[in-house]
Amino acid sequence: MRFTYRWGQRPLEGYTIKRGLGQGGFGEVYFAVSDGGKEAALKLLLRGRTDTELRGISNCLNFKHPSLVHLYDLQTDERGDHWLVMEYVHGEPLSAVLNRNPKGLPAEQARDWFLQVARAVAYLHDHAVIHRDIKPGNVFVEHGELKLGDYGLSKTVSSTSLAQSANVGTVYYMAPEVGRGSCTKQVDIYACGVMFYEMLTGEVPFRGDSWAEIALRHQTDKPELSRVPPEFLAIIDKALNKKPENRYADMGEMIEAIERVSRVAEKAQPEEPILIVAENKTEKKAPATPPPLPKRLPPVIPKNGSGSLAAVPTFRERLGELATSVATAPLAAVAVVAAWTLFQAIFRDRVDWFGLMPLYALTVLMSWAVLVPSKLRERKRPLLGTWSMMIIGAAVGLSAFWLEGWALPTIVPDGSVAPAPNESYLAGTVRSTSGTMEALIGYTVFFALALGMMSWTDHTKRRRKDRFSLGPIFATAFCAFLLWVGWNIFIHSYDPPGYMFVALAGTAGVVQMVSPWTPPPPPQPRRRRLEYA
């Protein structure tokens, strides 16, 4: 990262820059030394700060609490830039400690450390300040003591506009009501519950592939509490309640609940996890393998243009969508027939009118065969595997065989007249007209491979890149051509009708047109938060 100022420069009167510490949503932070030898952290605020925000910083300058990073002064340099002079913490962020302890901290250690942070948050609330970005990256460990930082630009309780600050928190610790524009002290209580959960287990309660999925899980999913020590289950469950009114009334009430919890009983946790501190001296036995984390839900993205999150559809909702898709597939198949008719009229100077009805019926049948299995289990793996889809494809091949006017072979009864050699199969036990068996094998194998070996579910995914794309159609047409080559290599007595390939390619377009689609989420904004060295 490139900082505005380098070692030895004095942008602020009385302080000499030594090195850059970090860059975040509010500006840059430097380690500096005053002319008198006092070490300090200087935060260069981004230009455009409003008077309301600067007054909020000034209100925090006289805060005094042992678990808060002290703010010394707010000054303006010759260029008109604002600088926040803060205490320089000799330590590391709590997030670094948790990264070295992926199974969580010992329960008693987590309890003692969390209480220090909780008392600092309660102090801020008592002075009408909401932090809004409580997370391990903003908590610093110095000689076993914890200090909460990055509160100088926090939101005051009396403020009502979320636009007053660029800091909107971190999605892993963001309360559900933040997405609805609510900002009360309950936001900090929820974030504290998430951080306490992470200190105890080593994991945040909700993860996902995008910020939208994580935010939605905060709104809808219940946290997995099986790894939380039983003494703290009720506390975590209440702090992470979806409804703000059902959480603790204030931080003081949450602190009292935690202080009533005695040391974790040995029968509940006979072995404590390893706590790896910076000096790497403390070593204890690791616990047994914890239960697996809950499975991830598929990513969910915002509705197009609405700004709200699109909920993961329930089974009943998906069943309704499937019924709609199945009902509209015949209408979409008309476009395939019309396009093939136009192609024949332009490039072949004649239209095979008798082949249009089999083309239409086969396209509809193929579309249904793809839609039903892929949509019933949209949130999990496909309902049917490759071999099952090949069986469905073979059934479609039999339908195509019948649509083309072929009659199925018949079994010769005992005592009947033996069929002619060109109509006899399987030692005279099966009778069929010449070429029937070859065509039957060709149709079943052709559609079994077409349905079983191609990735049809990619065309029906809710989160596919585009609502409709020509790429899958061309890819399916190419695969159909390869199957046609194989047909001609192994079956010489009968050439497949051309509408079979049109039906396959058309199915790739129909299933896209009738399948529900939500646009991909916007790229997650890059946000770098300050972490002291």
Q: Which of 77, 126, 133, 188 is catalytic?
A: 133
pLDDT at 467 over 90: no
Report the pLDDT value the prediction gives residue 464, as an integer from 0 to 100: 77
**Cβ burial, residue 469 (10 Å; 0-12/13-18/19+):** middle
Average pLDDT over the chain, rounded to an integer: 78
- Residue 186's CB: how many other CB atoms inside 10 A? 22
- Residue 282 to residue 284: CA distance in whole angstroms: 7
- Residue 257 to residue 310: CA distance in whole angstroms: 36
**The CATH fold of domain 1-88:** Phosphorylase Kinase; domain 1 (3.30.200)
Domain positions in the chain are 1-88, 91-306, 315-514
pLDDT at 158 over 60: no
CATH code of 91-306, in short, is: 1.10.510.10
Q: Is 133 a catalytic residue?
A: yes
Alpha carbon distances (Å) from 173 to 178, 194, 206, 210, 215:
11, 6, 9, 14, 9
Find the Cα–Cα–Cα–Cα dihedral 484, 490, 491, 496, rounded to 10°: -10
Q: What is the pTM of this model?
A: 0.49
Q: Which stretch of 90-94, 143-147, 348-352 has the lowest confidence by average pLDDT?
A: 348-352
Which residue stretches of 8-106 are H helix? 51-60, 94-100
Q: Which stretch of 333-342, 401-410, 418-427 has the lowest confidence by average pLDDT?
A: 418-427
* pLDDT tens readout for residues 269-300: 555 555 555 554 444 554 555 555 555 444 44
Q: Which stretch of 28-37, 188-197, 285-294 has the lowest confidence by average pLDDT?
A: 285-294
Beta carbons of 365 and 392 less than 8 angstroms apart: no
Structure tokens that stand for 500 in this block: 């079979």
